[in-house]
Structure formats: C-alpha cells, structure tokens
Chains A and B, each alone.
Chain A
Amino acid sequence: MSRVYMKGNEAIVEGALRAGLEGFFGYPITPSSEIIEGLAERFFADRERERRGEKPMYPKFRVFLQMESELASINAVMGGASVGCRVMTASSSPGISLKQEGISYIAACELPCVIINIMRGGPGLGSIQPEQGDYFQAVKGGGHGDYKLIVFAPNSVQEMAEHTMLLFNLTDKYRTPGMLLADGYLGQMKESMEFPDVPIEEYEKPWAATGMGDRETQNTIEFLFLTPEPMVEAKTRLLQKYKQIEANEVRYEDYKIDDAKILVTAFGTPSRVAKAAVDQAREKGVKVGLIRPITLWPFPYQVYADLTTHQIDRVLVVEMSFGQFVEDVRLGVEGRAEVKLYARYGGIVPTEKEILEKIMELV
C-alpha cells in the first residue's frame, strides 16, 4: 500500500467509501465541510462516468444528499439504516446537538450507522477552532433515555480513515450507532498516511424493513411500549448488548508505561502533544508514561484502575475543555492516585512545553 498525503476529513471520506458506504446525508458546517464536499465530488463524478457509459468507481455509493438540516440528515440516516444499508452523516458540534433526538431513536431501534463529529469551539456558535467540549454529549448520551454510542477518538489522519472503517464493521456487528469524535485540528490537518486493510464484514440484516415480500411477520423499526414489562425486556437486551461491547471492544494505546510512576492521559490531538512531552520528561529521568483511550465508549476504566493500584500514584489529564474526560479518568482511578487536570479551552492546543512543565510539577 502506498503512502498518501491527505487531510483528516478527506481520510474519513476515503475510509467510508472503502467500507462500502451506500448512503450519505449531511449538511455543511465548518470544520467538517470537506467530508460532504469530498463525497459530493466522488458521487457526482461517478454519475458523470455513468453518463459516459463507464463503470462508477464506487458502485455501492448510491445515495448522496445534502439535506435541509443536520436534524433531517440524522433522520435520513435512520431511514437508510432501517432498510439495512451502510449509511453515514457528518457534522460539527452544533450540528451534532441537532442530531441528538435522532441518535436516541437510532440507538433504541438498534440501527447501525456512523456519525462523524469534527468538534469545534463551544458552547453556542462558539468558534471553528478545535475543542473537546462534546465529550459528555458523545459518551454519556446527548439524547434522551438510556443508550450508548460506540465512540472512537482518532489522533491522526491515519486513524481518521481506520476508525471510520472499523466503526462500519462494529456498528453492523453489534447493531448500534457509532461516532467518530475528532476535532477541527484533526479534520483540517494534512499528514502522510497509509490506508489500513480493514476488510468489509458482511452481516445479515433480517430485521431490516425492506417491505414484507413473502415474509409472514412485519419488520417494524420502532421502540415504543404501552406497558412497562415489554420495555423492561427490550431495555434489558440493550443493556446486555452494551455490557458485551464493554467487555470486548475497549481499545487504548499505552506508551512507556511499564516502569512509569506518573501517568499522563489524553485523547485526540492533545494525546500526540502529551506523547512528545512524555519523551522529553523521560530524557530528564522522569518515570512517566501515557495512556491514550482510543474508544471513549467503551471507556478503558480497567487500565486506570490496574495502573493506579500497582504503580501509578499521580495522574495528569490533558484536555481541551473545562474538563469532561477527566471525570471518567477519576472514575477509573477511584481515588487511588492524585488526578490533576491541565485544561486548555477556547481553541488553544496545549504545547509540549506546557505539558512538560505540568509533568515536572508532579515530580
């Protein structure tokens, strides 16, 4: 596989197409607009090829629509997922807020789909600079009711593609929606990368509402109960699914952790800067290591618990918000170690020097 030089948002487009994307429904918003633009370009190029009698490059990619709002987009995604197609939408923070009701319905109806959030400054219209302020919304559930999203947090252009492809397989496998949580920095930056080989996993979808045909029973995509008992039963099934995902799909990266006394932890863009700071601190003889969660849900609580039980007594959390991810770290640590937060918000990405200083303060 040859290396390519690509923008983060572009990598998502290519990743989705390689994962067999069939329908995309979106709405423009900085800093994620290159995703809808990239898909439009490829979709209409294929239509031109067909007009010239040539074969399309992405034969599976049959439906592209810029909808009237992000809200309409997530509902179109619900429609596409309900009939068993691989569908995706992409937006940034305010747009993702508009999608929350739809996401709750999609999770309730156990529909697989991929939702891309290229986070920007918030709350409100905020800014188009990168931030990580949508963490709670993504992992604790921004919509109503008990539900979870599989949430991946890439920290490189390579992972923007890889996680998109992984999400399509995982969401089909577990019949649940998934989100890629990146930030404007990752979306806009360019890096050389190599497309990983993530084969498309085919899953039967007998539950899809494709028209009864000769089926005797109706397939209805709905989550509505008039009495508690059937709802308890249905929600218990959801809970068991989430437990299964928590047991099997936790992913994180550890770096120079074996003899570490101090733990630095961050996800997304800050985690790369933190890695560099860890190297510099190591050169100064500090026993420091890094944990970088890749799945924000299911969250790797266990690794924090184990490390702070056996070897770590101080934890430095680096985050680009008031401090949301830090709370889950604290849940993992459960008081076994001191947890310090270094938060940079407003769109400023913490520098190696700053993180190094914070590490040295803990020594």
Chain B
Amino acid sequence: MPQRRIHLVRTLSYQVEILEDRCKGCQLCIKVCPRHLLKLSQHANEKGYLVVEWQYSKTLGCIGCGLCYQICPEQAIRIYAEVER
C-alpha cells in the first residue's frame, strides 16, 4: 500500500460513489445515512434494480461516516475524501 500523506484541512468534504451495476436497491444505506443524502433513483440498472443515488449538497455535506459503506451488502459504495494537495 503506498504511503499516503493526508493533509488535514479544516473542512474535509467527502464524495460517495454508488457502483450502479452492484446496487440492488435494498435501501439499507438510505435508512442509515445520518444526513439523508441517499435516495432511490428512478432509473434501473442492467438487472432491473432501481439503484440508489447520492445527492451532493454543499450545506448538509457528507461527513464521511461510512455507515452506508458498512451496511451495504454488495460493497457497491465507495467513499472518497476530498483533500487539497
């Protein structure tokens, strides 16, 4: 694993990516997100599951708690910390 240096900046913002081909719309992540940033979208993936989508919002931003990642059975969620170099 490459040694990563994380620069701690005051306001760390996160982005969540939903791997749509893995999502089955079980909605467990929607229920667990403390900021309610996830919701069921209206489009289906190849298997016909309505996939979850993450809304980027400046004010109620994602705090990177990872609860969605932990509860997702399919490991269909990736969380990225936005860091200034």
The reply, when asked whether chain A contacts chain B directly with Cβ atoms under 8 A, is no
- Residues of B at the A interface (CB closer than 8 Å) are none
- Residues of A at the B interface (CB closer than 8 Å) are none
